[in-house]
């Protein structure tokens, strides 16, 4: 009878049979490698190859051996759990400024951007990378010799908040980079991206907060930002955050010459990148076509986007184009038009104060106690959309629209 072949990615290790530190060190190294591999398959490739129960056993065995033989290290997968609360968030100086993106709202602005790029570069056509503009929290990660050492928010562009302990709780993010597919780990790597809360998790969180009498979050972006900025990482860990990385502003020990090469490299290091929605295109017409397709696709996504980003692909071309004070000349955000919806006001309850002044408020349980007072007064005025059963138009971002 043939003997079943062992799978090196599912090491068969019995912690009870290990009685020396040397044997434990070897087992821990195997288990860490296996756990990182399966995290990579699950979070980056979205192609898991083992059942959850098998993964849980690997993780449990690793945790047990690390604790039993005092082998815990900062970059172990077991450390992607919440630590102790802190009194305040520290600050981090960015290696390079985290710039904003110039926003455009119509095709004419995008074509003007393309024309300026082509004129400056002396080129008839330009190669762009197009990708979604995520509506989340911008984040910068710094890896040194393959280990995550710092995570920081954008802040003022020069200095951000140190949120390393909180970001480490995001399961999709590796604490140690992989060396795979012939690509070695750089000595120092700075990557940037966006942390977001999936829409299904956001809705679930708000339902739970409502049951507990807490105020719901206004939108997924606020929920993600508030979760990352918690002083207690345990709260962040409970929020089920995710992230996509999309930029390498600095890489020491690697030779990356274009944005597309950077996007190809990051998954090989185990970093989560949204490759299915990023495209390399020749010329601005294809970038505009992508924008139109994303308008149609956005409602199918489990995360919020508010536009698309169009970037010059070649890094030397970027250097030639340079930057303004707050934003680069080689990239632009083509924003979507604000969504609009009709909200029907069913009832306005008015409390009369001692002086006889009416104070409108919404019906109990409808969240109307959080309305801005000016909007409540507007709604109560005759003909202003405040009558019972009268539709009131609102932008999805919370502003009243015409």
Residue numbers annotated as active site: 133
Quick check: helix, strand or coil at residue 347?
A: coil
* Contact by Cβ (8 Å): 347, 386: no
Distance CA 310, CA 395 (A): 25
Phi/psi at 394 (nearest 5 deg)? -135, 140
Which residues sit opposite 243 in a β-bridge? Answer: 195
* β-strand pairing of 331-335 with 103-104: parallel
Distance CA 312, CA 328 (A): 10
Residues 6 or more apart whose CB falls under 8 angstroms from that of 278 comprise 129, 130, 131, 246, 263
* Contact by Cβ (8 Å): 243, 272: yes
* Contact by Cβ (8 Å): 284, 109: no
Residue 44 to residues 6, 36, 245, 266, Cα–Cα distance (Å): 25, 11, 11, 10
DSSP state of 329: T
């Amino acid at each position: 009878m043939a003997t079943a072949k062992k799978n090196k990615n599912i090491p068969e290790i019995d912690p009870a049979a290990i009685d020396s530190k040397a044997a434990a060190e070897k087992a821990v190294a195997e288990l860490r490698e296996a756990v990182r591999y399966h995290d990579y398959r699950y979070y980056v490739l979205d192609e898991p190859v083992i059942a959850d129960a098998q993964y849980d056993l690997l993780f449990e065995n690793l945790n047990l051996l690390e604790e039993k033989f005092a082998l815990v290290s900062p970059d172990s997968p077991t450390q992607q759990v919440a630590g102790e609360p802190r009194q305040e968030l520290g600050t981090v100086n960015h290696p390079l400024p985290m710039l904003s993106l110039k926003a455009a709202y119509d095709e004419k602005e995008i074509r003007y951007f393309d024309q300026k790029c082509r004129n400056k570069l002396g080129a008839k056509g330009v190669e762009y990378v197009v990708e979604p503009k995520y509506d989340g929290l911008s984040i910068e990660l710094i890896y040194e010799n393959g280990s995550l050492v710092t995570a920081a928010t954008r802040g003022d562009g020069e200095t951000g908040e140190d949120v390393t302990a909180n970001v480490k709780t995001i399961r999709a993010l590796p604490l140690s980079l992989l060396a795979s597919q012939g690509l070695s780990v750089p000595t120092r790597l700075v990557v940037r991206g966006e942390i977001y809360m999936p829409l299904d998790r956001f809705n679930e969180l708000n339902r739970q907060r409502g049951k507990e009498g807490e105020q719901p979050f206004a939108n997924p972006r606020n929920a993600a930002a508030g979760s990352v900025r918690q002083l207690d990482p345990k709260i962040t860990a409970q929020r089920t955050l995710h992230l996509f990385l999309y930029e390498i502003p600095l890489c020491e020990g690697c030779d990356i010459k274009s944005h597309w090469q950077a996007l190809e490299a990051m998954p090989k290091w185990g970093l989560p990148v949204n490759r299915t929605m990023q495209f390399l295109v020749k010329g601005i017409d294809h970038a505009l076509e992508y924008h139109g397709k994303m308008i149609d696709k956005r409602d199918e996504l489990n995360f919020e986007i508010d536009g698309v980003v169009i970037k010059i692909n070649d890094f030397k071309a970027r250097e030639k184009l340079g930057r303004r004070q707050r934003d680069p000349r080689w990239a632009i955000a083509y924003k979507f038009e604000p969504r609009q919806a009709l909200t029907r006001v069913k009832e306005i309850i008015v409390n009369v104060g001692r002086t006889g002044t009416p104070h409108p408020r919404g019906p109990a349980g409808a969240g109307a106690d959080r309305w801005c007072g000016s909007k409540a007064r507007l709604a109560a005025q005759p003909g202003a959309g405040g009558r019972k059963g009268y539709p009131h138009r609102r932008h999805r971002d919370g502003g009243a629209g015409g």
